Amino acid sequence: MISGTNAIGNTLSKKGNHTYKTFNPKENKDTEWTFFEATSAEIDEAVDLATEAYKEYKDFSGSKKAKFLNAIADEIEALGDELIHTYCKESGLPEGRARGERGRTMGQLRSFATLLQDGSWVEAVIEKGQPNRAPMPKSDIRKMLFPLGPVVVFGASNFPLAFSTAGGDTASALAAGCPVIVKSHPMHAGTGELVASAIIKAAEKTGMPNGVFSNLNSSGIAVGQQLVKHPKVKAVGFTGSLKGGMALYKLANERDEPIPVFAEMGSINPVVILPSALENDSDVWATKYASSITMGAGQFCTNPGLVLGLKGDNLDSFISTLSEEILKLEPTCMLHPTIHAKYQEGKKELSEQNGVTIVADYDKPTDKNIGSQTILKVKGSDFLSNTKLHTEVFGPFSVVVSCDDASQLEKILNQLDGQLTGTILGSEDELKTYEEIVDGLQNRVGRILFNGMPTGVEVCSSMVHGGPFPASTDARFTSVGTSAIKRWVRPVSFQDWPNRFLPQALQDENPLGIVRLEEGSYIK
Amino acid sequence: MISGTNAIGNTLSKKGNHTYKTFNPKENKDTEWTFFEATSAEIDEAVDLATEAYKEYKDFSGSKKAKFLNAIADEIEALGDELIHTYCKESGLPEGRARGERGRTMGQLRSFATLLQDGSWVEAVIEKGQPNRAPMPKSDIRKMLFPLGPVVVFGASNFPLAFSTAGGDTASALAAGCPVIVKSHPMHAGTGELVASAIIKAAEKTGMPNGVFSNLNSSGIAVGQQLVKHPKVKAVGFTGSLKGGMALYKLANERDEPIPVFAEMGSINPVVILPSALENDSDVWATKYASSITMGAGQFCTNPGLVLGLKGDNLDSFISTLSEEILKLEPTCMLHPTIHAKYQEGKKELSEQNGVTIVADYDKPTDKNIGSQTILKVKGSDFLSNTKLHTEVFGPFSVVVSCDDASQLEKILNQLDGQLTGTILGSEDELKTYEEIVDGLQNRVGRILFNGMPTGVEVCSSMVHGGPFPASTDARFTSVGTSAIKRWVRPVSFQDWPNRFLPQALQDENPLGIVRLEEGSYIK
């Protein structure tokens, strides 16, 4: 049952007077639950507890932490239909999506458990001493990765499970050995509370220290600000808007001790459709992209919000098929009235820019909070001269740019901000013909695709979900996939340390059987 | 011959009117050379050229870049005694140090060449597609590291070769595939110019694009500021003071597109001397530390500026031997009158703090700019209550803290700022007895040593030269050793990319023969 309380470690707590409710966008009314915003004292308690928990938790073996992560997945499953129904109520998303996202969330947790069981992720490097080296003896030096300390995670509105309470940020930070304090997302506080209860049950069952996880309710920005400024917090994970991410990034950099903020922010995910694709597969791509643009009411960070092609009949025909196909689709409910209102505002603003034509606009009557799809068209020169058109409109929306020639298309790519993804549609040979375009695109993105759709981010070790600013605040890391663990650690060298007191990962005998770089070679 | 010009790529340039001279601290007079400060236009030219060079250079093979790095080492050697004599004139450091540092610089360049020839550093990860996977086919996804773009390097005053023009930052950035613009250190602009000429010769001989390297003179802060704010600059390497590093860090974060600044800043490198070391090896350690504290006139970032022990006769006896031994040593010349003046000021300020006793102070008459060694002593409670005593005094200086008990010592460690290094002197068993102290120290440092001295940083793949803030702005990276290359790169994923157009490191056939993580296993 949802009680509206905060979880300060294993203790439920509602000391504050400020309450708020979540909203059911499909029924356009508040849900039945009332949530108690965390007080300043509760925030301090959670951080203090996390700091204490860190002392013990950071040294836990990979297999012990793996048991914890697997237990979280089990406990989330054990929440059963209550979780699914709460998710649907608070997000307006359909049940199939809820079940799929639950599976993804559990899969993520288990993939980090597998990573921990293998253990090689700590990047152990061993260089033994050479006491007889001339002119100076060489010390024995070994290094590996260690967790940073308590991490604050801001859940994302658009993934109430996979990017929220027990999502990729939480899973990767817990895997790294960092206690986690979640600033619960106000739009799905009930879903968050249920998931938090599963994490806490798992923590208790597997003998984790109290404080390894806390969940704090918050309807505004104050709780998040206090958390990011707290001197005992050592890193922050965030998925959301550019504005929100940059506010936290600034706060974190103004601290006496600046800390890393991994904010995954906006992206318009440019798609370049090359002549052969327009000539041979125009209808296929138009149909696929109609579906990709509207998937989840367009509320994905990898939503293809920009399509670039060379002007001509083939592009016109692509645009008309895309428009036809996208208008056949039934629009769906958005996450919240404020997101819906922002979507309406954003597409109105872009539609009114110079040179913009509306080529598809779903205009049948709909229920409240339904996100109707819209496609705009603009010439390359108008797009180039107006950066307003480069901004993300979060929803089932895309802008098709008709470029005069390849050089204008290249110029547009080189002027774009950093992006999570970039896609090339075309033939293999065109990758050579349009080398500069491909190069320009690769230089702007974290993931580049050939003949595919950017929506649907695989959780795996080769995934980069991140990208040059402002797609993320730190292009050197990914927030999806097992490499996400690298955000929460730093290397430490041990010099001439006695073997028996070294962490197991660095001991001569390699008791964990992990892959290590020893004297320049990878050895297991 | 030293001409005082800037190097804008391969072109020597002196368009400005502002000139300055370097200083010979041993003779306490200006050197014979005049340097032309880079103008705003020259800065833009260098960055534009670097941006152009990047387009080509980023795709060069490891072996091609390795030839360039090896050629730089050769050309530095070919500078012969002119380099050594210029170095000595501009730094006041002895010839042996100059030759040693030249060897280290060349060794660093060659170690990155070896890393490039091996090629595995790009962290290639390959997960092939599973077109028949249910319910959704899995795309083929592969990732590897790519260079960020033009990098600005600020040389350090205290390592005119190894941490300057062709030092670790430059070598690692060039190795990564990033063009480098050096903001020449004003104290050794002549040394810098000679090294820059060697880099440019090497670039020309090995067919590097013009602009892969530039060297800009600057006596103040304006050149550095303009470089860090330049939109085409993608990362910054800095070694120097906390004040200087933080100013650049702030500037970089205030840009429209924030960029990473790797600033390696101050550190007092705490040394914990445990009871057994005081009881059994007091004199040995006192003698070794007298030498470590004064080495290079104390002008090392790893200088042991803080020694912590438990109060008692043994600690008193250690202090008196340390004082005796350190006063036997001949003090040496510091790098510059301003550094000398700051040293005098710093030790005076710390000497006057509450509860501080001066236990050794070299007071024989010396030449100008000589840094005389000083050891202070203070009680744990006084040290705890006065953070002024925690600040770095750059020079042959150290503070010994006499702690009431282990718990006070632990408290002090937990209150200290982040550090480059921390050292434990004692017996193996004491690592267990004083577990909390060891743990507290490890949590504060990038490198932890057992029974050694922190000065003397080995250049190798297991080294961490960095540490929690404010030792560095980013504890997740090292500035010494081959892992330093990781600062200048970001991962990019390729999804369903045709094999023949993938970078070689990601092609099915593994034509480079590198170690890759394929389907979860490390394979070569």
Known catalytic residue at B264: yes
Q: Which residues of B touch A125 (CB under 8 A)?
A: 461-462, 483
Terminal Cα distance for chain B, rounded: 48
Q: Which of A141, A448, A461 sits opposite B495 (nearest CB)?
A: A448
Give the chain A residue nearest B501 (alpha carbons): A431
Q: Read off the amino acid at residue A193.
A: E
Chain A: give the shortest CA distance to residue B431, in Å: 7
Chain B: give the shortest CA distance to residue A267, in Å: 15
CA-CA-CA-CA torsion for A307, A311, A315, A316, nearest 10 degrees? 110
- Burial label, B244 (beta-carbon count in 10 A; 0-12, 13-18, 19+): middle
Chain A: give the shortest CA distance to residue B316, in Å: 27
Quick one: tokens of A328? 């056949």
pLDDT at B135: 83
DSSP-derived letter for residue B472 is: B
Q: Report yes or no: B90 and B33 within 8 Å, Cβ to Cβ.
A: no
pLDDT tens for each residue of B236-254 = 999 999 999 999 999 999 9
In this structure, are strands B445-450 and B419-425 parallel, antiparallel, or unpaired? Answer: parallel
Quick one: tokens of A183? 């600033």
Q: Report yes or no: B182 and B192 within 8 Å, Cβ to Cβ.
A: yes
Q: Which of B55, B447, B496 sits opposite A493 (nearest CB)?
A: B447
Q: Which residues of A touch B497 (CB under 8 A)?
A: 448-450
Give the Cα-Cα-Cα angle B467, A258, B390 (nearest 5 degrees). 60
Quick one: tokens of B248? 């650049």
Query: Which of B344, B392, B352 has the alpha carbon at shortest distance from B368?
Result: B344
Q: Over B255-299, what HEC string results?
A: CCCCCCEEEECCCCCEEEECHHHHHHCHHHHHHHHHHHHHHHHHC
**Is residue A523's pLDDT more than 90?**
no
Q: How far apart are CA A115 and CA A138, in angstroms?
A: 33
Q: How far apart are CA A80 and CA A83, in angstroms?
A: 6
Tokens 């896609």 belong to: A423
pLDDT at B136: 87
Asked, as a colleague might, if the bond just before B135 is cis with ω within 30 of 0, I would say yes
DSSP structure string for A82-96: HHHHHHHHHH---HH
Give the chain A residue nearest B441 (alpha carbons): A492
Q: What number of residues does chain B have?
A: 524
DSSP-derived letter for residue B186 is: G
Q: Report yes or no: A319 and A377 within 8 Å, Cβ to Cβ.
A: yes
Q: How far apart are CA B188 and CA B198, in angstroms?
A: 16
In this structure, are strands A125-127 and A141-147 parallel, antiparallel, or unpaired? Answer: antiparallel
How many beta-carbon pairs under 8 angstroms link A with B?
A: 172
The verdict on a CB contact (< 8 Å) between B448 and A491 is no
Asked, as a colleague might, if the bond just before A470 is cis with ω within 30 of 0, I would say yes
pLDDT at A404: 98
Q: Read off the amino acid at residue B202.
A: A
Which of B476, B516, B521 to probe by mutation at the A interface, max A CB count within 10 Å?
Answer: B476
pLDDT at B18: 97
Q: How far apart are CA B165 and CA B175, in angstroms?
A: 15
In this structure, are strands B151-154 and B235-239 parallel, antiparallel, or unpaired? Answer: parallel
Q: Which residues of A are catalytic?
A: 264, 301
Quickly count: other Cβ atoms within 10 Å of residue B130's Cβ.
12
Chain A: give the shortest CA distance to residue B31, in Å: 33
pLDDT-derived band at A388 (thresholds 50, 70, 90) equals: very high
Q: How far apart are CA B453 and CA B301, in angstroms?
A: 13
Residues near A306 by beta carbon (within 8 Å), at least 6 away in sequence: A268, A269, A270, A271, A390, A398, A399, A401
Known catalytic residue at B301: yes
Quickly count: other Cβ atoms within 10 Å of residue A41's Cβ.
12
Residues of chain B with pLDDT below 50 are none
Q: Which residues of A touch B428 (CB under 8 A)?
A: 498, 500-501
Chain B: give the shortest CA distance to residue A384, in Å: 18
Quick one: tokens of B336? 């510059």
Q: Report yes or no: B90 and B191 within 8 Å, Cβ to Cβ.
A: yes
In this structure, are strands A270-273 and A306-310 parallel, antiparallel, or unpaired? Answer: parallel
Q: Which residues of A touch B474 (CB under 8 A)?
A: 260
Give the Cα-Cα-Cα angle B474, B477, B481 (nearest 5 degrees). 140
Q: What average pLDDT is seen over chain B?
A: 97
Q: What are phi and psi of A213, to 5 degrees?
A: -150, 135
Q: Which residues of B touch A458 (CB under 8 A)?
A: 138-139, 141
Q: How far is CA B516 from the centre of its chain?
A: 29
- Helices of type H across A230-356: 242-254, 275-280, 282-294, 313-328, 337-351
Q: Which of A460, A489, A494 sits opposite B127 (nearest CB)?
A: A460
Chain A: give the shortest CA distance to residue B27, in Å: 31
pLDDT tens for each residue of A49-76 = 999 999 999 999 999 999 999 999 999 9
- Burial label, B427 (beta-carbon count in 10 A; 0-12, 13-18, 19+): middle
Residues near B316 by beta carbon (within 8 Å), at least 6 away in sequence: none
Q: Which residues of B touch A524 (CB under 8 A)?
A: 522
Quick one: tokens of B189? 């602009």
Tokens 């960055």 belong to: B47
- Burial label, B37 (beta-carbon count in 10 A; 0-12, 13-18, 19+): buried
The CA radius of gyration of chain A, in Å to the nearest whole number, is 25
The verdict on a CB contact (< 8 Å) between B469 and A520 is no
**In DSSP terms, which residues pair with A180 in a beta bridge?**
A151, A213
Chain A: give the shortest CA distance to residue B345, in Å: 25
Q: Which of A141, A446, A450 sits opposite B460 (nearest CB)?
A: A141
Q: Which residues of A touch B142 (CB under 8 A)?
A: 462
Active-site hit among B88, B301, B333, B403: B301
**Is residue A201's pLDDT more than 80?**
yes
Q: What are phi and psi of A28, to 5 degrees?
A: 55, 45
Which of A462, A482, A521 to probe by mutation at the B interface, max B CB count within 10 Å?
Answer: A462
**In DSSP terms, which residues pair with B19 in a beta bridge?**
B36
Left, alpha or beta for A346 (phi > 0: left; psi -120 to 50: alpha)? alpha
Q: Give percent of chain A with pLDDT exceeding 90.
A: 98
Which helix (H) or strand (E) covers residue B143, if one does?
Answer: strand B141-147
The verdict on a CB contact (< 8 Å) between A476 and B463 is no
Q: Any long-range contacts for A20-24 (C-beta under 8 Å, 24+ apart)?
A: A20/A186, A20/A189, A20/A217, A20/A219, A22/A89, A22/A90, A22/A186, A22/A187, A22/A188, A22/A189, A22/A190, A23/A90, A23/A187, A23/A336, A23/A337, A24/A89, A24/A90, A24/A92
pLDDT at B285: 98
pTM > 0.95: yes or no: yes
Q: Which residues of A touch B257 (CB under 8 A)?
A: 418, 468-470
Query: Which of B416, B418, B417, B398 has the alpha carbon at shortest distance from B306?
Result: B398
Q: How far apart are CA B81 and CA B191, in angstroms?
A: 11
Q: Report yes or no: B339 and B363 within 8 Å, Cβ to Cβ.
A: no
Q: Report yes or no: B49 and B150 within 8 Å, Cβ to Cβ.
A: no
The verdict on a CB contact (< 8 Å) between A452 and B139 is yes
Q: Which of B125, B476, B490 sits opposite A490 (nearest CB)?
A: B476
The verdict on a CB contact (< 8 Å) between B127 and A461 is yes
Q: How far is CA B377 from the centre of its chain?
A: 29
Which of A430, A495, A497, A524 to probe by mutation at the B interface, max B CB count within 10 Å?
Answer: A495
**In DSSP terms, which residues pair with A361 in a beta bridge?**
A374
pLDDT at A1: 85
Query: Which of A26, A127, A9 has the alpha carbon at shortest distance from A333?
Result: A26
- Burial label, B290 (beta-carbon count in 10 A; 0-12, 13-18, 19+): buried
CA-CA-CA-CA torsion for A300, A306, A307, A308, nearest 10 degrees? -150
Average pLDDT for A319-338: 98
Query: Which of A326, A55, A89 has the alpha carbon at shortest distance from A193?
Result: A89
Q: Give percent of chain A with pLDDT exceeding 70.
A: 100
